[in-house]
Amino acid sequence: MLGKPILDVCDLSVVRSGKQILEDVCLTVNEGEFVGIVGPNGSGKSTFLLSVLGILKAESGFVEIYGLPPTSRKLHRKIGWVSQAAANLPKDVRITVRELVRLGTINSANMFDWADNGRRERVDKAIKMTGLKEVENTDIGRLSGGQRQRAVIARALASEADFILLDEPLVGVDRDSRNSLLRLLDRLCHDEGKTILMVSHDLTAIRQTAHRMVFLEGSVRFDGPTKSFPDFQRLADLRGIQAVHGDKEVYWETTSNHKEEL
């Protein structure tokens, strides 16, 4: 059973560099949901997340998280943010997995407080949850792409965030690591009670993982259960893309030099 609404977006419109990126976007994410946002490049997916975080200012509409504006200090430690660039640290940066995860326990209220106050326990738990115990003292630069993604997710978990937002966490990650990351996110949602909002261009990965899918292209074109996500023909209709070959689908048979019509 899903809980109360955590994110409420109503009539959100955003303009960047004089261009309308989002228009009248409405979306609600409930406690315990795993929601995947998909759409083509330039469709406004990252802009939407930055607006939810309060980094970008809305032209109109509003965003509330736990009933509060995104910039509210009361939201500290409630939101975990994993950006596209989070795992792309330069290889010459000397910081271990444990040190990176510990950064998730630091905020403006405790940065000068040297007392432990349960930080070590939170770091240990986050490292264990993400399966990084064996490499906790390894420099980030020596890890695989999948392990680095796990490390930045662990940093978000160490903050004890209940609402985790991820922007394209599967980019540059090989197939096995991708599947491992998706299983991790599923466990965080089902076993740890986290609420997850993830942006990805990987449509198939989202369909295998998320409870609910949102197709965003300037505005919300589809919002519903993953099993109801439209097929390619319906998706093309939603986007207003017309077939250039008429009603017949043409394909090349790989075993011969002739083509057939279906």
Domain assignment present for residue 154? The answer is no
Maximum Cα interatomic distance, the chain, rounded to a whole number of Å: 74
**Pick the residue with more confidence: 144 or 164?**
164
- Judge whether 142 and 169 are in contact, CB under 8 Å: no
CA distance 44 to 219: 8
At 1 the pLDDT is 56
Question: Residue 116 CB: number of other CB atoms within 10 A?
Answer: 10
- How many domains are contained in the chain? 1
Distance of CA 68 to the CA centre of its chain: 21
Domain assignment present for residue 1? The answer is yes
- On the question of pLDDT at 28 being above 90, the answer is yes
Place of tokens 């909002």: 197
The model's pTM? 0.81
At 256 the pLDDT is 42
Domain assignment present for residue 216? The answer is yes
3-class DSSP state of 216: strand
Domain assignment present for residue 65? The answer is yes
Domain assignment present for residue 14? The answer is yes
Domain assignment present for residue 257? The answer is yes
CA distance 200 to 22: 17
Question: What average pLDDT is seen over the chain?
Answer: 84
CB-based contacts of 258, cutoff 8 Å, min separation 6: none
Q: CA end-to-end span of the chain, whole Å?
A: 44
Q: What is the percent of the chain with per-residue pLDDT over 90, rounded to a whole number?
A: 44
Q: Which two tokens stand for residue 238?
A: 């939603």
Domain assignment present for residue 70? The answer is yes
**Which domain range does residue 48 map to?**
1-78+190-262
260: domain CATH number? 3.40.50.300
- On the question of pLDDT at 146 being above 90, the answer is no
Mean pLDDT of 181-210: 90
CB-based contacts of 133, cutoff 8 Å, min separation 6: 127
CB-based contacts of 206, cutoff 8 Å, min separation 6: 36, 38, 198, 200, 213, 226
Distance of CA 197 to the CA centre of its chain: 5
Domain assignment present for residue 243? The answer is yes
**Pick the residue with more confidence: 91 or 150?**
150
- The C-alpha angle 211, 163, 101, rounded to 5 degrees, equals 115
